[in-house]
Amino acid sequence: MTELLTGLPPDAPSGAQPRPEYDPATTTLTEREAVKASELSVSPDTIRWRRRRYQRNGVLGMVDGRLTPRKPATGQVDPRVVETLRTLMRQATNDSTHTAGYFYVRLGAVLREQYGPGVVKLPSRARCLTPPNSTAVRSPPRQQGGRARQSGQ
């Protein structure tokens, strides 16, 4: 991109002259984009798209954004909510079965207790009670009770 924009590659020695096809004094940006596209065997539109991203974001703009995570697996839920819920679920592993509603009520109480009322925003009940496989909050494996273990379930 540096050669495309300035006429010189980034490692050019001091006093170097641009190659004629990249000389900004004699070629337009569109012409230089076409030359670079043919060198890299891509379309001029691809070069134009990459150049704009480079100008906007520097070298990081050259990274293919499809390969970088867009958002955490827990979505926009406050990390304190996620960690507190995970802790509650770990603590309840050997307890009797609890409903999702129990965890929601208990989560709100613990967050108010730890951080103060209204400091940590609790997601809506519906959002918080979505199935575990749709969020990063997973329940640890439960130990089966004696009767289930005996019958092989």
The pTM for the full model equals: 0.46
Asked if the model's pLDDT at residue 14 lies above 80, the reply is yes
Distance CA 114, CA 56 (A): 42
133: confidence class by pLDDT, cuts 50, 70, 90: very low
Mean pLDDT of 117-145: 66
Q: What is the mean pLDDT of residues 104-120?
A: 91
User: Is the model more confident about 26 or about 146?
Assistant: 26
Q: pLDDT tier at 101 (50, 70, 90 boundaries)?
A: confident
Above 80 in pLDDT, residue 102? yes
SS3 annotation, the chain: CHHHHHCCCCCCCCCCCCCHHHCCCCCCHHHHHHHHHHHHCCCHHHHHHHHHHHHHHHHHHHCCHHHCCCCCCCCCCCHHHHHHHHHHHHHCCCCCCCCHHHHHHHHHHHHHHHHCCCCCCCCCHHHHCCCHHHCCCCCCCCCCCHHHHHCCC
User: Measured between alpha carbons, how far is 136 from 82 in angstroms, rounded to an integer?
Assistant: 8
**Model pLDDT for residues 19-77, shown as the tens digit of each residue:** 999 999 999 999 999 999 999 999 999 999 999 999 998 888 888 777 766 676 677 78
Residue 17 pLDDT level (bands cut at 50, 70, 90):
very high
pLDDT at residue 99, rounded to an integer:
84
